[in-house]
Structure 1
Amino acid sequence: MSEPKTALVVSAHSADFVWRAGGAIALHAAQGWRVHIVCLSFGERGESAKLWRQPGMTMEKVKTDRRAEAQEAADILGASVEFLDIGDYPMRVDLDVVFHLAKVYRELRPSFVLSHSLKDPYNFDHPLATHLAQEARVVAQAHGHEPDVPVIGAPPVYLFEPHQPEQCEWKPELFLDITPVWEKKRAAFETMRAQEHLWEYYTRVGLQRGAQATRNSDFRITYAEAFQRVFPHVTQGMLA
């Protein structure tokens, strides 16, 4: 039996992968792919305001709650997840994190990678996560880095939709029909109790991208996720 295809998701905070790529994760997992999520932080400082309003809240409790939410969401979507706990607002990365992620690349050997937009004036953690994802990808391709371990190829990198795409200079270049797994994505939303205010917002985003996907295809699509490409699309033999 052949090994399942794999995909890697690098998420700055513990909820980002749910809002922005939960459909892609669930869709591929349902088709037998192994999807692995790396959460760099729990979003404990900047994305957990509802928790911090509770009396007696502590940093450790916030992290515990956000980790539990993300683990539950990943389970619903059918993915594995790991938490690096490197902090947020501000996020900083040292070489140990780069090398750890390069190791993940070489072990997983993903067919594609998902991460954040290249720019985000509202949240500097997001482009830093993508910078890390791409830097580790390059390291994992380097023959001189741990030369006894086989290098990876060139998995395409897709940037999922930021909260305010125009200000992030992000535009959709690929629409993915997630209608068949929408209920899973919505269920994963609802594990994110610390950010309940975003549930309906990202439902509207899914519907809007579904309408645009239908307009740009011969398909009738209710819910979609949109992605921007980093590298050129390569094909052999034909364009479609």
Structure 2
Amino acid sequence: MNEIKTALVISAHSADFVWRCGGAIALHRSLGYKVTVVCLSFGERGESAKLWKQEGMTLEAVKKARRIEAENAAKALDLSDIRFFDLGDYPLELDREAKHRLVDVIREVQPAFMLSHSQYDPYNTDHMYTTQVALETRMIAQAWGHNPGQKVLGAPQLYLFEPHQTEQMGWKPDTFLDITPVWERKRAAIECMAGQEHLWEYYTRVAQQRANHFKRNSGGQSGGRDCKYAEAFQSVFPRTVDEL
């Protein structure tokens, strides 16, 4: 019996996984992967302006609304394992206990690959902090001396998904993923994020632009694969291959 493959997404806020890797989630779900998403915060302070403009809004009401949006988006992506750490945002901070909680998830999931944010983001330090945490907890999960007796982590690739203003982030994609077969799922998930409606069309255009790059890098005008929507990622670690 074949072992089920797994993937783990570490998302700073509860909408990040939708914009930046919703297609990868839906596509790998269709391939039989068990995908787990960890939302470290709801983005309740810094990424919920539309909700805060409503009269009488409270922090708990914003968090509740954001959770519902994320859960609905997860359903649209056929994602059943989404976990909310509720650690607060702007700034997002993890103490040792919270980091070990994330290590426990990593060891439980044993992901074939992981996804998180760009390593530099001057516009949103929560994002780059999350990837620092992802790297640190990945390292701890590999340590035989951390909670001896648990299954240690292997060496999953960490892919960095696309930041909002790529030119400012030092982010250089080296992997393009065709998400055309699951685009309707991603678009449905995007539309669950009512608190950030201003991003719906932006991330649709990003997917179309990356599709152009997918086609160009799969053979270009001399016979490249057709693609209408794609996502791009930057890998952190070297890849080991048997053939090119």
Normalised TM-score (structure 2): 0.96
Query: Are 1:203 and 2:182 an aligned pair?
Result: no
Q: Pairwise mapping of residues 1-240 of structure 1 onto structure 2 (< 5 A)?
A: 1-79=1-79, 80-217=81-218, 218-236=224-242, 238-239=243-244
Cα deviation digits, residues 82-110 of structure 1 (max 9, x gap): 00011101111101111111111111100
Q: Which secondary structure state, in structure 2, belongs to the residue aligned with residue 228 of structure 1? A: strand
Letter in 1 for 2:225: F
Q: Which secondary structure state, in structure 1, belongs to the residue aligned with residue 167 of structure 2? A: coil
Letter in 2 for 1:58: T
2:221 corresponds in structure 1 to: none
Normalised TM-score (structure 1): 0.98
* Superposition misfits of 4+ residues, deviation over 6 angstroms: none
Q: In structure 2, how many angstroms separate the alpha carbons of the residues matched to 1:3 and 1:193?
A: 37
Q: In structure 1, how many angstroms separate the alpha carbons of the residues matched to 2:107 and 2:12?
A: 20
Superposition deviation, residue 200 in structure 1 = 0.2
Q: In structure 2, how many angstroms separate the alpha carbons of the residues matched to 1:78 and 1:97?
A: 27
Provide the alpha-carbon RMSD of the alignment.
0.7
Q: In structure 1, how many angstroms separate the alpha carbons of the residues matched to 2:178 and 2:121?
A: 25
Q: In structure 1, how many angstroms separate the alpha carbons of the residues matched to 2:120 and 2:239?
A: 21
Superposition deviation, residue 234 in structure 1 = 1.0
Q: Which secondary structure state, in structure 2, belongs to the residue aligned with residue 110 of structure 1? A: coil
How many pairs does the alignment contain? 238
Letter in 1 for 2:192: T
Q: In structure 2, how many angstroms separate the alpha carbons of the residues matched to 1:54 and 1:188?
A: 23
Q: Which secondary structure state, in structure 1, belongs to the residue aligned with residue 232 of structure 2? A: strand
Superposition deviation, residue 76 in structure 1 = 1.3
Percent identical across equivalent pairs?
A: 61
- Name stretches of at least 5 consecutive residues in structure 2 with no aligned partner: 219-223
Superposition deviation, residue 18 in structure 1 = 0.2
Q: Which secondary structure state, in structure 2, belongs to the residue aligned with residue 225 of structure 1? A: strand
Letter in 1 for 2:226: R
Superposition deviation, residue 17 in structure 1 = 0.2
